[in-house]
Amino acid sequence: MTRLVRTIALMLPALILSGLLVVRAASAAGFTPAQRDEIVAIVREALKTDPSILRDAIVTLQAEEAKHDRDAARSAIAQARESLVGPADPIAGDPKGDVTIVEFFDTRCPYCRKIEPVMDSFLAGDRRVRLVYKDMPILGPASVLGSKALLAAQRQNAYVKMREAVMKLPSDTTMAQIEAAARSLGLDWTRMARDMEDPSVQARIDANLKLARSLGIQGTPALVIGMR
């Protein structure tokens, strides 16, 4: 065995565990075709002899990717800190709470609906939590309709009440169902229907979607926890 091949053999676990593709590394280093073939043979034999090398490499790579994703998320959150909580954002719990949770949600999302009682229980148990809602309609026209209804209801100081009602409606929410819910809450439906079509309501939805993309959020519910 040549010195080069012995060196590659000794380095093989480290090369794989660090996420390097040995063949690509060999090619980049300018090895001859014969040397590259020898390196490939060593890699194959090593994996046949000890498959745990590949398993350990995958585990290590997954851990490194997870750490990278966490670091990227922290950086994105830090950069978007001023946008995460704005004066127009609807709030539940203590508006001056010492801990803030920002919840990106879709009114049609089944998982968003499932965590509702959990969040309600949490807020009831800790009176110093501020929950900020970010409408993120990503599941079709009914989702957009639901978000517009909530943001329009907010203009009548009824966002939270309307949200509770809409989240209990069938997921394929219709305008007729929203109207019935709004009237049952004593809201001015004529005004609310008009406000739902206000361009500024769509602009708020667009801003939330843009913010979610900048944070790498691809689904709902998504929670950002711990801000003051």
Q: What would the pLDDT profile of 43-59 be if each residue is shown by its tens digit?
A: 777 777 877 776 777 77
Residues 86 and 194 in one domain: yes
Residues 108 and 172 in one domain: yes
Q: At residue 9, does pLDDT exceed 50?
A: no
Residues 55 and 111 in one domain: no
pLDDT for the residue numbered 178: 98
Residues 64 and 128 in one domain: no
Residue owning tokens 């946008």: 83
Q: Give domain status of residue 76, yes or no.
A: no
The pLDDT tens digits for 84-141 are: 888 999 999 999 999 999 999 999 999 999 999 999 999 999 989 999 999 999 999 9
Residues 203 and 157 in one domain: yes
Residues 95 and 56 in one domain: no
Residues 164 and 205 in one domain: yes
Q: At residue 83, does pLDDT exceed 80?
A: no
Q: Give domain status of residue 181, yes or no.
A: yes
C-alpha to C-alpha distances, 160 to 115, 149, 165, 203, 204, nearest whole angstrom? 15, 11, 9, 20, 17
Residues 23 and 105 in one domain: no
Domain CATH number, residue 184? 3.40.30.10
104 φ, ψ to 5°?
-90, 125
Q: What is the mean pLDDT of residues 182-209?
A: 97
Number of domains in the chain: 2
Residues 154 and 174 in one domain: yes
The pLDDT tens digits for 171-180 are: 999 999 999 9
**Residue with the larger pLDDT of the pair 104 and 65:** 104
Instruction: Place 30 in a pLDDT band, splitting at 50, 70 and 90.
Output: low
Q: What is the mean pLDDT of residues 16-37?
A: 58
Residues 21 and 99 in one domain: no
- What stretch of H or E contains 30? none
If DSSP codes are grouped into helix, strand and coil, which group holds residue 106?
coil
Residues 87 and 53 in one domain: no
- The mean pLDDT value of the chain amounts to 83
pLDDT for the residue numbered 81: 67
Q: Give domain status of residue 40, yes or no.
A: yes
Range of the domain at 8: 3-69
Examine the fold and report which residue of 43, 69, 95 is the final residue of a domain before the chain moves on: 69
Q: Give domain status of residue 74, yes or no.
A: no
pLDDT for the residue numbered 16: 47
Least confident of 32-36, 110-114, 187-191: 32-36
pLDDT for the residue numbered 33: 81
Q: At residue 208, does pLDDT exceed 60?
A: yes
Q: Give domain status of residue 31, yes or no.
A: yes
Examine the fold and report which residue of 37, 69, 101 is the final residue of a domain before the chain moves on: 69
Instruction: Place 157 in a pLDDT band, splitting at 50, 70 and 90.
Output: very high
pLDDT for the residue numbered 72: 60
Residues 65 and 157 in one domain: no
Among 154, 115, 114, CA closest to 135: 154
Q: Which residues contact 227 (CB under 8 A, 6 or more apart)?
A: 81, 84, 85, 99, 100, 102
Q: What is the mean pLDDT of residues 161-189?
A: 97
pLDDT for the residue numbered 166: 97
Q: Give domain status of residue 14, yes or no.
A: yes
Q: Give domain status of residue 75, yes or no.
A: no
Q: At residue 22, does pLDDT exceed 80?
A: no
Peptide bond into 110 cis (omega under 30): no
Examine the fold and report which residue of 69, 99, 122 is the final residue of a domain before the chain moves on: 69
Q: Which residues contact 15 (CB under 8 A, 6 or more apart)?
A: 8, 22, 25
Q: What percent of the chain has pLDDT over 90?
A: 55
